[in-house]
Chain A
């Protein structure tokens, strides 16, 4: 009979493979699109998916757990994984926030200020974390780590807020008047939903690392089981919603059209 931790490992493995396959496909898809049309939003989103969602995620996904077992990897390899992972993530997170600014809040002084503040805290956090030895031991503590992780979280919160809380309402109004296609309007909902799932992944994925040195092994194991279950479920959520955002299937398009025709303003 399968143990609960084995079931969780399988669930997590499948979820993470699906997640990585999805974000890698989206990164490649957007890179091709950006190379063709040279539009800033596409370039920023391609950078975000390739660097933050794929490269940074993989490097930190290997490096941070390895830091739990001192001596498992050489300091040089650890530095490469952690330093490279945070570099890719920081650049990717900034690109994601810049996409948010240029698409939803272009020209707004507060949003421009927020973007540059994010750039400043990312670069300061990265340099401070490196200089304080964070790349060698991968520890998830200290002011520089929190500055970096806090900025990742704040940027993710901003990215999920704009389409979901703000623009979704505008799209419903436009849809009622026939000013936007149901598929395009629905894309904001999917993008927002996927961003909520990624926010959950970021928060839940970070919790075990943060508490690693403060809990007993049994407590930490129990906490990890809970948070990884959320990570696995959110990973499925990201994969489905982001895939439908960028690669809507014919069946999904028909479903939206039927829904729109029957409900009028539902998206």
Chain B
């Protein structure tokens, strides 16, 4: 399955900045995305930023990652350097347009 650049980049960065292994990191990010109602395939850098700020610190703390909030916030500037990615039209995009 293809994942978005934001997902792959975040997983790689988190793995390098925590003691979690690849599977643990990817599973944790997936769970955080699920809580936000997002999918690894389509998550954008902007959406991932919100997840890192609001959900991920709690998820990392529950996995005994020290200084989880700082780890998450340290990724935010890097996310903004990613391209917006292949913008898949979401139901929100369509419903936003419908009332003009």
Please state if B95 and A184 are interface contacts (CB–CB under 8 Å): yes
Which residues from A are CB-within-8-Å of B99?
A: 187, 245-248
Residues of chain B with a CB closer than 8 A to A167's CB: 91
| Binary A-proximity of B11-33 (CB < 8 A = 1, otherwise 0) | 00000000000000000000000
**Main SS at interface, chain B:** helix
Asked if A180 is an interface residue, CB under 8 A from chain B, the answer is: yes
Query: What is the CB-to-nearest-CB distance from A159 to chain B, in angstroms, rounded to a whole number?
Result: 13
Distance, CA A246 to CA B99, complexed state (A): 5
- Give B90's nearest chain A residue, CB to CB: A103
Q: Which residues of A contact B77 (CB under 8 A)?
A: none
Task: Tell me if B82 counts as interface (CB < 8 A to partner A).
Answer: no
Which residues of the other chain, B, contact A246 by a CB distance below 8 angstroms?
98-99
B91 near A188 with CB under 8 A, answer yes
Q: What are the residues of chain A within 8 A of B35 when measuring CB–CB?
A: 173
Q: B47: which A residues are within 8 A, CB to CB?
A: 179
Q: Which residues of chain A are within 8 angstroms of B94 by Cβ–Cβ distance?
A: 39, 41, 103
Interface SS, A side:
helix
Number of interface residues of A (CB under 8 A): 31
- Interface residue A230 (Cβ < 8 Å from any Cβ of B): no
Contact across chains for B50 and A179 when beta carbons are under 8 A apart: yes
Contact across chains for A103 and B50 when beta carbons are under 8 A apart: no
Interface centre among A33, A163, A174, A248 (most CB of B within 10 A): A174
Query: Hey, which bits of chain B sit against chain A, CB under 8 A?
Result: 35-38, 47, 50-51, 54-55, 91-92, 94-100
Q: A33-B100, A177-B51 are in contact. List 18 more A-B contacts (CB 8 A).
A: A33-B97, A45-B98, A103-B91, A103-B94, A167-B91, A169-B37, A171-B92, A172-B37, A174-B36, A174-B37, A177-B36, A177-B54, A178-B50, A179-B47, A184-B96, A187-B95, A188-B91, A245-B99
